[in-house]
Amino acid sequence: MTQSPASSPPPEQVLLVDDNATNLQMLFHTLKGRGYKLLIAGSGEQALSIAQKAHPALMLLDIMMPGMDGFKVCERLKNDPQTRDVTVIFLSALTDTDDKVRGFRLGAVDFVSKPFQAGEVTARVDTHLKIHRLEQNLARRNRELELLRDQILRAMREGVFGVDGAGRVIFVNHAAAQMSGWTEGELVGRILDEAHNGDHLLPLLGAEVRKTLTDARMRSGEQARFQSRDGSTFPVEYSIAPTGAEGEITGAVVVFKDISERARAQAELKRIHEALLNSHQDLQEAQMRLIQAAKLESVGRLAAGVAHEVKNPLAVIQLGLDYLSNSLPEDAVTAGVLTDMADAVTRADTVIMGLLDFSREHRLELKETGLNEVIRDSLQLVQHELTQHNIRLELDLDDCIPRLGLDPNRMQQVFINLFMNAVHAIEKDGVLRVESRLETLEPGNLDKHLESEGFQADKPVIRVNVEDTACGIESGGEDKVFDPFFTTKPTGEGTGLGLSVTQNIIKLHRGSIRIRNREAGGAAVTILFKAAAGSR
């Protein structure tokens, strides 16, 4: 089975509105054959009805019409949320400046004078449709950035506040609300160090924020204590960064982390140390506890260091990107730069999460699962990347494959990692082929490596192949691709942990994974799982 490439987007719709049939015919023939879907309306009422149903990208609208004139139609369009994005170009014999100003105020973008010239009409339609596409793309990217920001804030365990130039809270994430004891609704709009019904809202934090708003300097603290709503205090690490542009401070972003667990661990270390000094009889037991506590402390410090030194600044950078996206002029160049910066933030976060995931102990949650279903679900998650890079997918899955005891989440992690590696290797305009087969392992294909993994000749196996048409693995790299921190990607673009984690997951499922270069170019990954006897 081969999956067909994604279909091209439908043609843009242009609605022609004029009460004069001759004018409509001339407009239709002028724009015919230019790749647009042309719609026709002979009155203002009909134009509104068609616009609400078809949602055209652009409308060529005559002003002087009986009943509802063009001005009224434009006003109704722009007041309706369903049609306000329609680009309106007026067609009119009116030359009075006041009429044109009125049209622009109602939301029109241009005028074409009657009698119109075909070249002028096509040029203006082409230009304004291009602008319309750019505006739609920019709006989509802004929504994606906002969604990414919200996802980051929701996922963070650190508390995050954003304040304006007066120190008033303008946004807060869920973690910050939980730690402070206030609800998000109670925090937004409040000044951090103000008193409210006798309660002070994080007074220490508010005082530090005011200093940053005054001198535009970043601040941080490692052993500060914040006061929660019930009057209790808790130890935190925090950082405060000013926001603004061109020397003007418009607010600040605060990121803080509750380090109560670390403080408790440090207190435990101190208690153990005192026990060692006071009781020789408990020396051996105390030593073991000290070693264990020291290990826990080291892990805690590492995690805290990662969070404080990397994730917190990343959150600040992301919030800065959000600010820039709302402050800089809306043009394609700016949008591209902001997208690249957002991708860099995502990349840095991926590196951190990859390191943490590699260091965790993986425990499988096995259940009867269809392997083909996991492959399809994984492809669905990377479909956007395939489309963006113009990569054709060839999918050939064997319907006879039996269900296996798998951890579907871990296996989805495996396939997404392999698919994204292929996307990054191909870069653009290539083929990704994914194949699954139920077959018998021939004796000639059984090497010592497979024997050591428990595979036997003439036994049924499930094979999954993931192949790409990129440049393949550099010479000498095939034996190292599963080594931790080995990567063939350019410096700064790979953690070198993805394939190592992938191999670990496959081994936990008692499977085998190999990577080789294809003779025709590109790389091929082969995964084998043991199938129950009699599966064929």
Residue 280 in any domain: the answer is no
Number of domains in the chain: 3
Q: What is the CATH number of the domain that holds 402?
A: 3.30.565.10
| Nearest-angstrom CA–CA distance, 247 and 245 | 6
328 within a domain of the structure (yes/no) = no
Give pLDDT tens digits along the chain (536 positions): 445 455 567 888 999 999 988 889 988 998 988 888 999 998 999 999 999 999 999 999 988 888 899 899 999 999 998 888 899 999 887 777 888 888 889 888 888 888 888 888 888 888 888 888 888 888 888 777 767 666 666 666 778 888 888 888 888 888 877 777 777 777 788 777 665 444 555 666 677 788 888 888 888 877 777 767 777 777 878 888 888 877 788 888 888 887 777 767 777 777 777 776 665 554 444 444 344 334 434 443 454 455 446 666 777 777 777 777 777 777 777 777 778 777 777 766 665 655 555 455 557 788 999 999 999 998 998 898 889 899 999 999 999 999 999 988 888 888 988 888 888 888 888 899 999 999 988 888 788 778 888 888 888 999 999 998 888 877 766 666 666 655 666 544 555 566 777 888 888 888 888 888 888 888 889 999 988 765 55
> How far is the C-alpha of 206 from the C-alpha of 199, rounded, in Å?
13
Domain stops at, among 204, 232, 258: 258
State how far the Cα of 163 lies from the Cα of 176, in Å rounded to an integer. 13
Q: Which amino acid is at 504?
A: N
Q: What is the pLDDT of residue 297?
A: 42
* Residue 43 lies inside a defined structural domain of this protein: yes
CB 80: neighbour CB atoms within 10 A?
13
Are 377 and 479 found together in one domain? yes
Same domain, 34 and 183: no
Report yes or no on 278 lying in a domain: no
Pair (520, 428) in one structural domain = yes
Q: Say whether both 162 and 234 belong to one domain.
A: yes
Tell me the CATH number at 42: 3.40.50.2300
Q: Given this model, what pLDDT does residue 283 score?
A: 46
DSSP code of residue 311 = I
Residues 120 and 178 in one domain: no
Range of the domain at 387: 367-530
Choose among 351, 348, 362: nearest CA to 503: 362
Residue pointed to by tokens 């989440």: 409
The pLDDT tens digits of the residues spanning 282-295 come to 444 444 434 433 44
- Give a yes or no: residue 493 inside a domain: yes
Is 418 part of a structural domain of the chain?
Answer: yes
* Residue 190 CB partners (closer than 8 Å, separation 6+): 168, 169, 196, 201
Of 343, 408, 409, 322, residue with least CA distance to 146? 322
pLDDT of 220 reads: 82
Is 319 part of any domain? Answer: no
Q: Which of 523, 515, 396 is nearest to 469 (CA)?
A: 523
425 contact partners, CB below 8 Å, separation of at least 6: 468, 470, 471, 522, 523
User: Do 372 and 502 belong together in one domain?
Assistant: yes
Instruction: Give residue 293's pLDDT.
Output: 36
Same domain, 508 and 385: yes
Q: Of 369, 460, 471, which Cα lies nearest the Cα of 424?
A: 471
Six token digits for residue 394 = 């060839």
Tokens linked to 121 = 């009409």
Can you tell me the distance from the alpha carbon of 235 to that of 267, in angstroms, rounded to the nearest whole number?
Answer: 13
Q: Looking at the structure, do residues 371 and 499 belong to the same domain, yes or no?
A: yes
Check whether residue 131 and residue 189 sit in a common domain: no
Sign of the alpha-carbon dihedral angle for 438, 443, 445, 448: positive
Same-domain check for residues 380 and 524: yes
> How far apart, in whole angstroms, are the C-alpha atoms of residue 464 and residue 529?
9
Final residue belonging to a domain, choices 221, 240, 258: 258
Residues 166 and 93 in one domain: no
The dihedral over CA atoms of 397, 401, 402, 408, expressed in degrees to the nearest 10, equals -40
What pLDDT shows up at residue 534? 56
401, 519: one domain = yes
CATH number of the structural domain spanning residue 223: 3.30.450.20
Q: Is residue 451 part of a domain?
A: yes
* DSSP 8-state symbol, 385: H
Residue ending a domain, choose from 108, 142, 176: 142
Encode burial over 167-189: b for 16+ CB neighbours within 10 A, e otherwise.
bebebbbebbbebbbbeeebbbe
Cβ partners under 8 Å of residue 16, min gap 6 = 24, 27, 28, 31, 38, 39, 40, 41, 59, 60
CA 317 vs CA 140, 149, 158: distances in Å: 21, 10, 15
CB-based contact 58:129 (threshold 8 Å): yes
